[in-house]
Amino acid sequence: MLSKNIDKYTFSQQHDNISMGKRVWYFFWDLVKVVAVALAIIIPVRYFLIQPFYVQGASMEPSFYDQEYLIIDEISYRLSAPDRGDIVVFRYPKDPTQFFIKRIIGRPGETVEVKDGFVFIYAEDGNRKYLLDEYDYLDNGVKTRGDKRWELGEGEYYVLGDNREHSLDSRIFGPVNRGLIVGKVWLRGWPLDRAKIFNGVDYEQFNNGN
């Protein structure tokens, strides 16, 4: 009688041990599946949709300051072309291992002229010339130094830094090819007191049919 009780106890103990082992296995298997699903979501988002970017330098002040943390939208330009006023991150034409942040001023087919401290845009027909009103992002009294005129070809964009006195931009290295543009600034996440979502710029003279 005693022997039967021991056998039943031993069987029960072995059964519990097997159940515990299965539970541990199922736990780790579920964990692996959760991690796999998370990576399947995060990796495409991180490398193909958005990516973080730290501002370095003062070329975009006062819009952006050194060490601010930005999120770059990489998918929008797969659906539509970059637009005037967009703040973009691109590979430096003279060294594609470096990343720059500037603002798009001129688009393909246009002619951009920097003269007398201002920026002028010629329409694609070359007959109409407009002063680019940049009051949305330039400090009052800021002048755009240089005496440049550039006709943009297919897929070429003219970019300038908002800090016109201290910016290495298209006035120096010329236009940026579309293939070098990584994406546009969507969100400033840090510092928190300057957190902001960025939309397009309203250039009134171009929105009124000019």
Q: Which residues are catalytic?
A: 59, 102
SS3 letters for 50-114?
EEEEECCCCCCCCCCCCCCEEEEECCHHHHCCCCCCCEEEEEECCEEEEEEEEEEEECCCCEEEE
What is residue 175's three-state secondary structure?
A: coil
Q: Terminus-to-terminus CA distance in the chain, angstroms?
A: 103
Q: Name the token pair of 165.
A: 């006195």
β-bridge pairing 176-177 and 156-160: antiparallel
Which H or E run contains 36?
helix 2-44
- Specify the residue for token string 């021991």: 6
Strands 95-106 and 87-92: antiparallel
CB neighbour list of residue 84: distance below 8 Å, 6 or more residues apart: 104, 105, 106, 107, 201, 203, 206
